[in-house]
Amino acid sequence: MASESAIAFGKSPKKAMGSVTAAADAVVDHLASPGGGFDTLRDRTDPNQIEAIDLVRVSLLGKAIDPWSCLWLLSDDGRWLTAETLARVPTDVRLGVPHLNAAFRCGDLLTLLRDSAGLGQAQATRLIAAKRPLLCAIDDKGIRHALEAPRDKNCWRRWKSALDGDLLAKVEKVRTLAAEDDPFAAELSSLRILDIAIRAKASRS
């Protein structure tokens, strides 16, 4: 098993997300952009089923899922296999809160999306984050670069290690401030707020 230092981000998310004001502005800007549909369309889907609208949601982040992968995900086999796994992961489980098998099942889904749907790490984790935003973070080149992290199987373990009380308190301040301009910000998970803020700061650097 990897040591705690081995699974830490090279740059702390607390530093990488910038100031509370800048992070809140980034959240509001995101929700007003096409990419905001990734989050705002969440309630139009069955949380235990990957549907066509989920594929659209992922595409709103900037890159569409490969057509062959879409066909498998929407096929009878694809829908059944992904639904069976999602049904074993409660929608209200948060990363860092102990729950028997929830993280393992997300790992199973990641493997399924890679091996059967042919998705890469970025698209697979975007799709899982779309269905379980409280538990799973997006892991792609942009976020790894911003946090100085390698591409490996420990992406969610790094986030679990990083989510301490200080970071979550800062995220809550960002959520509250952003919600003054866009009430939907109050519904975003901590992982989503961090993702949005970190990407925005990195784009300004």
DSSP codes joined into one string, 10-69: SS-HHHHT--HHHHHHHHHHHHHSGGGHHHHTGGGS-TTS--HHHHHHHHTTT-PPPHHH
**Residue partners of 130: CB distance under 8 A and separation at least 6:** 38, 42, 54, 57, 58
Percent of the chain with pLDDT strictly greater than 90: 79
d(CA 75, CA 42): 21
Distance CA 203, CA 16 (A): 11
Q: What are phi and psi of 152, to 5 degrees?
A: -155, -170
Please compute the mean of the pLDDT values over residues 134-162 and round it to a whole number: 91
Contact between 29 and 197 under an 8 Å Cβ cutoff? The reply is no
Confidence grade of residue 4 (pLDDT, cut at 50, 70, 90): very low
What value does the mean pLDDT take over residues 115-144?
95
Predicted confidence at residue 148, as pLDDT, reads 95
Mean pLDDT calculated for residue range 114-140? 95
The structural domains of the chain, with segments of one domain joined by +, span: 5-204
Residues 59-68: tens digit of each pLDDT: 999 989 999 9
- Res 5: pLDDT: 47
Q: What is the pLDDT of residue 1?
A: 45
Average of per-residue pLDDT values in the chain: 92
The whole-model pTM stands at 0.93
Could you tell me the CA-to-CA distances from 4 to 58, 104, 156, 158 in Å, in that order? 31, 19, 13, 9
